[in-house]
Structure 1
């Protein structure tokens, strides 16, 4: 979950009830932009080459000079201990948002936790089979990969790769046939230790350059302004598809999509931006 910044004050629930926040804070390091490594199989998504010493590569936005393309990304957050809250009626999904994206014909990348896929397998399967979307990995339990990440429980380095693999297993079990080799750190928090722990997992870590501010927001107009003011060619916009913690997102999407199209922007998936980065660094 990404906190509100600039006009919108972040509010993060702590402890076991936390869905998660992150982005403009947290432990982030910015390695030099790595080169892309295209898969030999044309049908496979592009990935970035490992960083120095084989570190997991990090992608935060596409090229600024290849036209007005941008990617909307949505985190499907759910922690390992939120099952009772879901059983009591709390909504960690957002079908209205997905219907809006389909109606507007907006391709998008969904970063899904394994726990979310366990809770909503039919929705996970539907997204995984819809060519308008691509599904990527957001960890299994939405626990942090660093210390001091917005109150999230932290994983030990030895647990990190297993957590990523467990998430992919949940996506497969839910019926997602081709989860992409892209990973978003919970809270956006990472450091050299986390990048090293995931080395060899074959994933590209995907961050963002635009924080929508939809996490815990109640003012859709403020979130809309924040997105419209932050977007640049090649941007990756971080949003959420969790009704309980981001109730304004559907309204925001219905406002920003037509406005950005009027400004000449074309919506693409993260995989396309990564492919453009490799060809036109």
Structure 2
């Protein structure tokens, strides 16, 4: 009898021990471990977030809305300087906005490294209007420029076409031929820049800087502001260094200067180097568009 009782007690103790071990396993096991945080450099590789994109309507939604609004509208104005296009900064301060275009395409996808290096060395902020074709040919350089605090990246269109709704041409370049084509020219590069940088462009400059008045309104409705200039700084990087210098010295308080950084064989960099010290002596400082156009 005593042996039976001892056997029962031993069996009960064993059951209790096994139960306790099972409970420990249950409470300490993590069947879905949390992934470790990504390294900081990997996190920076994706500057945009889902939230950024969630706030914006899709291209299809924007196009559907604006197609209904503008279909059948006939333009009455055409040119570089139209109502709704910003040509100067709204200030009397001695500030100048240097804007540089990169047009892309067969003859426009170069990179004037000497010019950009001069801006960096002299700590000169600038606004860079960059075309989709240039981005595709120079993506590593584009990403470096986009991450540089001196530079502001803005929209220079998808195919570098004059912006119109009826195909009007300038300099032998046919403009966008419909409301839909005008929207594609703005939105295609808008979304490309957003995807790559996490920042939606605030400003737009069309290829050739020409617009009709309907297209200007389309740009505004897309959520960007058309920006041109009051000083032609290098005429598509065809000016000599002396001509670039003379053009820049014509700038006034609030001037927006158009130049180019996609043609390294031109004299834009050299003309800039000659003009900047003289402008500084006159008390001018340099600003990005986003600093002055809120």
Q: What's the CA shift string for 1:106-132, capped at 9, x where partnerless?
A: 000000001111110111101111111
The structure with the greater share of residues assigned to helix is 2
TM-score by length of 1: 0.70
How do residues 114-193 of structure 1 correspond to structure 2 at under 5 angstroms? 114-146=132-164, 147-157=168-178, 158-173=180-195, 175-193=196-214
Where structure 2 has 5 or more consecutive residues not aligned to the other structure, the ranges are: 1-77
Distance 2:200 2:270 in 1: 27
Find the partner of 2:283 among 258, 261, 264. 264
Q: How many residues align?
A: 213
* Partner in structure 1 of residue 215 of structure 2: 194
Q: How far is the alpha carbon of 1:179 from its aligned partner? A: 4.3
* Partner in structure 2 of residue 111 of structure 1: 129
* Partner in structure 2 of residue 96 of structure 1: 114
* Partner in structure 2 of residue 274 of structure 1: 293
Contact kept, 8 Å, 1:63 with 1:233, in 2: the verdict is no
Q: How far is the alpha carbon of 1:94 from its aligned partner? A: 1.4
Contact kept, 8 Å, 1:77 with 1:92, in 2: the verdict is no
Distance 1:263 1:233 in 2: 11
Local SS of the residue matching 2:163: coil
Q: How far is the alpha carbon of 1:168 from its aligned partner? A: 2.2
Contact kept, 8 Å, 1:134 with 1:180, in 2: the verdict is no
Residues 60, 197 of structure 1: alpha-carbon distance in 2 compared, 3 angstrom cutoff: same
Q: How far is the alpha carbon of 1:143 from its aligned partner? A: 1.4
How do residues 52-91 of structure 1 correspond to structure 2 at under 5 angstroms? 57-65=84-92, 67-79=93-105, 82=106
Q: How far is the alpha carbon of 1:172 from its aligned partner? A: 4.0
Local SS of the residue matching 1:59: coil
Local SS of the residue matching 1:213: coil
Contact kept, 8 Å, 2:109 with 2:133, in 1: the verdict is no
* Partner in structure 1 of residue 51 of structure 2: none
Q: How far is the alpha carbon of 1:182 from its aligned partner? A: 0.5
Distance 1:29 1:259 in 2: 28
Distance 2:134 2:124 in 1: 22
Indicate the structure whose relative CO is greater, using CA pairs within 8 Å and at least 6 residues apart: 1
Q: How far is the alpha carbon of 1:273 from its aligned partner? A: 2.4
Mean Cα deviation higher: 70-79 or 162-171: 162-171
Larger radius of gyration: 2
Distance 1:129 1:210 in 2: 27
* Partner in structure 2 of residue 30 of structure 1: 82
Contact kept, 8 Å, 1:143 with 1:186, in 2: the verdict is yes
Local SS of the residue matching 1:165: helix
Contact kept, 8 Å, 1:135 with 1:179, in 2: the verdict is no
Where structure 1 has 5 or more consecutive residues not aligned to the other structure, the ranges are: 1-25, 32-56, 276-281
Q: How far is the alpha carbon of 1:216 from its aligned partner? A: 4.5
Q: How far is the alpha carbon of 1:223 from its aligned partner? A: 1.8
The CA RMSD measured in Å over matched residues stands at 2.0
Distance 2:200 2:213 in 1: 25
